[in-house]
Amino acid sequence: MAQPRVTLSRIAAKTGLHISTVSLALRNSPKLPEATRAKVQRAAKILGYKPDPILSALVAYRTTSRPITFQAKIAWFNGYADRKAVRSIKTLNEYWEGANERADELGYKLEEFWLHEPGLTPSGLRRRLLARGIRGILVFPMGTPVALTEFAWRDFSAVALGYSLTEPQLHRVTNHQFRTALMLFRELRRLGYLRIGLSLVEVHDRRVNLALSSAFGAYDMRTPPADRVPPHLRLHWEDREDFLKWLRRERPDAIITHDERIYDWVRAEGLKVPGDIGLAFFNINRTEKTLTGVHQCDHRIGRVALNRLENMLHVHESGVPDFAQHVLIDGEWLQRKTTRQVGPPAEWFLDLPSEEDAMRQPLTTPPAGKTI
């Protein structure tokens, strides 16, 4: 015989609390003390409570049909030594604007917490968040790879943007950097560029989990030997001379890079862009008028991160996950003025006709000579 569904009334009777308090506790509402939420959630688990998906859908519909009102605050961690850097770096500012826009739509407010504030300790940060009723955290990219292992993550739902938070391994939302790099190589080959060079700063490649150099390796090992250009990896952003030595030695047809200063360095060397050399960049703004490259959809990344965090808050998912999930957002190729069509499209190692034909077949089409 099927067991009767555990109701909120039954949990209320077991805990001695009002049904409205039980409802708030099961939604992990910051309006209640932590001890009350823990008591209700513990009782619900013992009784075997499971939300009714039909009722949950109805509540969600009724909620979204009403005007949005303020619900709670969500923290965003700023780990840059220069506090203003996050809002001045276009990628990170787009993250913030996307997250803030989505938070406003859902009735939340973002509140900044600068991790380099004098005297701020992990325990002090925890107390400050709890005192403000904050249970959700967005961890923004840091200036360098950083571990935050002493903070009490168990008390919060948290999502990281990018890979610069090395520990703990939280759920993350970021651009699909590996696919972005492959997109750059592919589109340059379609424009007829053959000898394509890659110029990276080591710390940046590490911040994106080595995705850029990894994609280059996949490309390079499948490229005809005559088209291969050894990559350029410099340790310091300002090392212009090291870049120019590589440029003069290898003389690539086109360069892929994340450093927009290379545009000026190449032109100062007397090369015309795109007449003598093509340039394509890993992350450009959608409103960019000059630079060719990939727009990584940073605004959307911020919105998706906020959505992921809100879902965690609703299902009371907190602490460091056993297995971190990565949500990877594709970018879009934007053809601007630093590249041109220099010849017929060159062979691309992923364009395998037999696989492409197979992938275009409808799922319901049976193999030749067979019937379903």
Q: Which domains does the chain have, with CATH numbers?
A: 8-65 (1.10.260.40), 72-168+299-329 (3.40.50.2300), 177-296 (3.40.50.2300)
pLDDT tens, position by position, 215-237: 999 999 999 999 999 999 999 88
pLDDT of residue 360 exceeding 90: no
pLDDT of residue 80 exceeding 80: yes
Query: Are the CB atoms for 136 and 314 separated by under 8 Å?
Result: no
pLDDT of residue 353 exceeding 60: no
152 exposure class (CB count in 10 Å sphere: 0-12, 13-18, 19+): middle
**Residues 6+ away with beta carbon under 8 Å from 284:** 291, 292, 293, 294, 295, 334, 336
State the pairing for strand pair 332-334/292-295.
antiparallel
pLDDT recorded at residue 370: 57
pLDDT recorded at residue 38: 87
Radius of gyration of the chain (CA): 26
pLDDT recorded at residue 306: 97
Q: Any idea which residue has 């000059």 for tokens? A: 290
The mean pLDDT value for 318-336 works out to 96
From residue 302, alpha-carbon distances to 356, 362, 370, 371 in Å are 33, 35, 48, 48
Among 88, 69, 72, CA closest to 80: 88
pLDDT recorded at residue 357: 60
Q: What percent of the chain has pLDDT over 90?
A: 66
pLDDT recorded at residue 200: 95
Q: Retrieve residue 370's tokens.
A: 């067979």
Q: Residue 61's Cα: distance from chain center in Å?
A: 28
pLDDT recorded at residue 58: 54
The mean pLDDT value for 100-126 works out to 95
**Residues 6+ away with beta carbon under 8 Å from 296:** 91, 175, 180, 282, 283, 329, 331
The identity of residue 121, as a single letter, is T
pTM: 0.79
d(CA 128, CA 293): 42
pLDDT recorded at residue 68: 47
In three-state secondary structure terms, 371 is coil
Query: Are the CB atoms for 298 and 95 separated by under 8 Å?
Result: yes
CA dihedral for 114, 234, 243, 228, sign (positive or negative): negative
Q: In the predicted model, what is the mean pLDDT of the chain?
A: 89
pLDDT recorded at residue 54: 55
What dihedral angle (degrees, nearest 10) is formed by the CA atoms of 35, 36, 37, 40?
Answer: 120
Residue 82 is classified by DSSP as S
pLDDT of residue 280 exceeding 90: yes
pLDDT of residue 92 exceeding 60: yes
Q: What percent of the chain has pLDDT over 70?
A: 87
Among the residues of the chain, which ranges form H helices? 8-15, 19-26, 34-47, 53-65, 85-88, 90-106, 122-131, 177-190, 202-207, 211-220, 240-250, 261-268, 298-314, 353-359
Q: Please tell me the total number of residues recorded for the chain in this structure.
A: 372
Among 193, 189, 215, CA closest to 347: 189
pLDDT recorded at residue 49: 86
**DSSP secondary structure of 83-122:** TTHHHHSHHHHHHHHHHHHHHHHHTEEEEEEETT-TT--H
Q: How confident is the model at residue 157 (pLDDT cuts 50, 70, 90)?
A: very high
pLDDT of residue 196 exceeding 80: yes
pLDDT recorded at residue 369: 60
The mean pLDDT value for 187-216 works out to 93
pLDDT recorded at residue 290: 97
pLDDT of residue 283 exceeding 90: yes
In three-state secondary structure terms, 59 is helix
pLDDT tens, position by position, 42-69: 998 898 888 765 555 555 555 555 554 5
